[in-house]
């Protein structure tokens, strides 16, 4: 290849090797293509990839203890949490030193809130002790053990130090353990007390209700899609507008409308009572529970089932059913053996869409779900905006993401993702 005689590599018109000039022109084209999609790529990166990565990170990140109390953490290593004795003076001295710095930087209350997730009372303990520890001089005022216990008797409780020691690690599985109703203790992972075990149940309920919602969407959407795909153009267009109409009203309005419909003094109950089907003092409870959530969410997610189903059914030519009938199949056989199998990709696409939307739904369960009909996402929202336990929220979100991916994988194994068609 080195000597460029006749037998050497092919040359382009300007004498450069053909391969090289081809590569150069291809590279230029690729760069231009890349430049064209760069804004979108950047957007996706900023709005999708980075938030997810940061969520994954937050669910295990736990630098706060070590950062706020660096000296204490070193001393805690020498203390045996199982010994049943309080730590020695060295640790209290280190702690006072750390706290004075932390109080100066006003980071001690944040640490208090963080530890409060693990043991209630910590937050107020840190806040209240702060003012008095501030007055101590770590160089001269020792010994600190008794002074601290005087300031707040929490400092004389072994549990306090055990909690701090347990959560001093910079990367923790504590949030994930919390997310599955367990907790991190010096003795390893343990189950939460009975009364605090709600999250696994909530996960189960979320999955179960999403499945029920998906199933009822399939049942309701199939005949509608079939009509949409088979009726003459003019009628089906009208029907399509009716299907899409809900999209044009705000989600909040639609959900609130269900509230009006379903509540005890609502349209449905009033009608039933008026018809005499239900006694006035035995009105149906169909809102602020799972039933209400299922009804409202089925209604709201229905278009996401209808549209993929419709677009698949539309591509099934009527000649297949005609052919089947001409060969002697009854209407039912024709439907079941010929039409239905060809509409399965639409069902698959719609189900994935509806299920994944449902499993992360928030607004509707919040409004019509009461306490029994809320989803895991409502819990996540609570931890993000009320309890401010972002680590737990991130762990819950990560688990939700993993569950969805797992189900997606199962679906791919069982049905095959190639069988999903959106049109």
Partner 1 sequence: MSNDAAFVEFQRVQKSYDGEILVVKDLNLSLPKGEFLTMLGPSGSGKTTCLMMLAGFETATHGEIMLDGRPINNIPPHKRGIGMVFQNYALFPHMTVAENLSFPLEVRKIGKSEREEKVKRALDMVQMGAFGSRRPAQLSGGQQQRIALARALVFEPELVLMDEPLGALDKQLREHMQFEITRLAHELGITTVYVTHDQTEALTMSDRVAVFDDGRIQQLAPPDLLYEEPENSFVAQFIGENNTLEGVVKSIDGDSCVVTLDDGSEIDAKPVNVSAAGERTKVSIRPERVEFNKDRLHADAHTLKATVKEFIYMGDVFRFRLSVAGNDDFIIKTRNAPDAVRLSPGQEVEIGWLAHDCRALDA
Q: State the minimum distance, in angstroms, from the CB of residue 309 to partner 1.
A: 16
Please list the residues that pair with 11 across neighbouring strands.
17
276 touching partner 1, by CB under 8 A: no
Q: What is the dihedral of CA 314, 320, 322, 324, to 10 degrees?
A: -140
Q: With binding defined as CB under 8 A, does residue 325 bind partner 1?
A: yes
- Candidate ranges 69-77, 244-252, 316-324, 400-408; the one touching partner 1 (CB under 8 A): 316-324
Concatenate the DSSP letters of all residues of 228-247 into one string.
HHHS-HHHHHHHHHHHHGGG
Under 8 Å between Cβ of 273 and 228: no
| Residue 227 or 329 having the CB closest to partner 1 | 329
Cis peptide before 143 (omega within 30 of 0): yes
Under the binding rule (CB under 8 A), the answer on residue 271 touching partner 1 is: no
> CB neighbours (10 Å) of residue 43?
10
Contact call for residue 330 and partner 1 (CB under 8 A): yes
Q: How far is the CB of 349 from partner 1 (least distance, A)?
A: 16
Handedness of CA 14, 17, 18, 20 (dihedral sign): negative
The per-residue DSSP string of 86-153 comes to ---HHHHHHHHHHHHHHHHHT-HHHHHHHHHTTSTTHHHHHHHHHHHHHH--TTTS---HHHHHHH-G
CB nearer to partner 1: give 161 or 222: 222
Q: What angle, 0 to 180 degrees and rounded to 10, lies between the N-to-C axes of helices 89-105 and 108-116?
A: 110
Q: By CB under 8 A, is residue 323 in contact with partner 1?
A: yes
Q: Where are the alpha helices (DSSP H) in 157-198?
A: 158-166, 174-179
Q: Which of 5, 7, 120, 319 binds partner 1 (CB under 8 A)?
A: 319
Which is nearer to partner 1, 57 or 320 (by Cβ)? Answer: 320
The overall longest dimension of the chain from CA atoms, in Å, is 102
Query: For partner 1, which stretch binds (CB under 8 A), given 129-137, 326-334, 346-354, 362-370?
Result: 326-334
Q: Any bridge partners for residue 185, and if so which?
A: 188
**How many residues form the binding site for partner 1 (CB under 8 A)?**
19
Shortest CA distance to 358 belongs to which of 232, 247, 210? Answer: 210
- Quick check: 235 binds partner 1 (CB under 8 A)? no
Q: Is 341 in the site for partner 1 (CB under 8 A)?
A: yes
**Which one among 51, 143, 317, 423 touches partner 1, defined by CB under 8 A?**
317
Q: Residues 40, 328, 386, 413: which binds partner 1 (CB under 8 A)? A: 328
Smaller CB separation from partner 1, 8 or 318: 318
Residue 24 found at the interface with partner 1 (CB under 8 A): no
Rounded Cα distance, 23 and 116, in Å: 61
Q: Which one of 338, 384, 388, 407 is in contact with partner 1 (CB under 8 A)?
A: 338
- Does residue 9 touch partner 1 according to CB under 8 A? no
CA 211: distance to chain centroid? 16
Compute the distance between CA of residue 225 and CA of residue 239 in angstroms, rounded to an integer.
10
Q: Is 234 in the site for partner 1 (CB under 8 A)?
A: no
- Residue among 29 and 322 whose Cβ is closer to partner 1: 322
342 touching partner 1, by CB under 8 A: yes
Cα dist. 84→80, 121, 193 in Å?
8, 21, 22
Identify the bridge partners of residue 191 per DSSP, sorted by sequence position. 182
For residue 219, the minimal CB distance to partner 1 (Å) is: 22
Determine the interface stretch with partner 1 among 121-129, 177-185, 219-227, 335-343 (rule: CB under 8 A).
335-343
Segment contacting partner 1 by CB under 8 A, of 70-78, 103-111, 334-342, 369-377: 334-342
Binding segment for partner 1 among 7-15, 64-72, 306-314, 321-329 (CB under 8 A)? 321-329
Binding segment for partner 1 (CB under 8 A), chosen from 35-43, 169-177, 304-312, 314-322, is 314-322
Q: How far apart are CA 97 and CA 12, in angstroms?
A: 75
Q: Is 247 or 320 the residue whose CB approaches partner 1 more closely? A: 320
Nearest one of 268, 230, 224, 266 to 246, comparing CA atoms: 224
For residue 331, the minimal CB distance to partner 1 (Å) is 8
Q: Shortest distance, CB of residue 347 to partner 1, whole angstroms?
A: 14
Q: Of 384, 344, 381, 376, which is closest to residue 358 (Cα–Cα)?
A: 376
Interatomic CA distance for residues 142 and 132, integer angstroms: 14
- Stretch of 46-54, 159-167, 299-307, 312-320 contacting partner 1, by CB under 8 A: 312-320
Stretch that binds partner 1, among 166-174, 195-203, 300-308, 320-328 (CB under 8 A): 320-328
Residue length of the chain: 423
Interface ranges with partner 1 (CB under 8 A): 317, 319-320, 322-331, 333-334, 337-338, 341-342
């Amino acid at each position: 290849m080195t000597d460029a005689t006749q037998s050497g590599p092919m040359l382009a018109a300007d004498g450069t090797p053909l391969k090289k000039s081809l590569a150069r022109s291809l590279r230029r084209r690729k760069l231009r293509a890349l430049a064209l999609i760069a804004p979108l790529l950047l957007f996706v990166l900023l709005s999708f990839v980075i938030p997810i990565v940061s969520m994954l990170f937050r669910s295990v990140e736990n630098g706060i203890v070590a950062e706020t109390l660096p000296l204490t953490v070193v001393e805690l290593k020498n203390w045996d949490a199982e010994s049943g004795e309080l730590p020695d003076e060295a640790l209290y001295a280190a702690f006072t030193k750390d706290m004075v710095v932390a109080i100066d930087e006003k980071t001690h209350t944040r640490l208090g809130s963080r530890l409060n997730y693990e043991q209630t009372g910590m937050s107020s303990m840190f806040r209240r002790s702060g003012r008095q520890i501030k007055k101590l001089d770590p160089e001269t005022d020792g010994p600190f053990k008794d002074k601290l216990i005087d300031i707040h008797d929490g400092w004389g409780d072994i549990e306090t130090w055990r909690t701090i020691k347990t959560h001093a690690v910079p990367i923790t599985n504590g949030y994930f353990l919390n997310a599955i109703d367990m907790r991190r203790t010096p003795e390893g992972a343990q189950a939460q007390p009975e009364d605090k075990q709600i999250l696994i149940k909530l996960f189960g309920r979320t999955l179960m209700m999403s499945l029920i919602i998906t199933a009822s969407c399939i049942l309701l959407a199939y005949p509608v899609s079939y009509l949409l795909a088979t009726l003459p153009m003019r009628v089906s267009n009208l029907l399509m507008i009716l299907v899409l109409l809900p999209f044009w009203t705000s989600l909040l309005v639609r959900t609130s409308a269900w509230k009006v419909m379903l509540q005890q003094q609502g349209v449905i109950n009033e009608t039933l009572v008026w018809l005499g089907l239900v006694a006035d003092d035995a009105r149906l409870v169909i809102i602020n529970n799972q039933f209400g959530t299922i009804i409202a969410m089925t209604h709201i997610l229905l278009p996401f089932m209808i549209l993929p189903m419709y677009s698949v059914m539309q591509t099934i030519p009527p000649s297949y059913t005609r052919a089947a009938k001409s060969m002697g199949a009854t209407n039912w056989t024709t439907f079941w053996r010929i039409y239905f199998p060809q509409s399965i990709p639409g069902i698959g696409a719609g189900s994935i869409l509806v299920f994944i939307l449902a499993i992360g739904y928030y607004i509707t369960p919040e409004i019509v779900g009461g306490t029994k009909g809320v989803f895991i996402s409502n819990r996540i929202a609570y931890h993000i905006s009320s309890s401010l336990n972002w680590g737990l929220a991130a762990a819950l979100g990560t688990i939700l993401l993993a569950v969805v991916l797992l189900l997606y994988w199962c679906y791919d194994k069982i049905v095959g993702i190639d069988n999903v068609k959106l049109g």
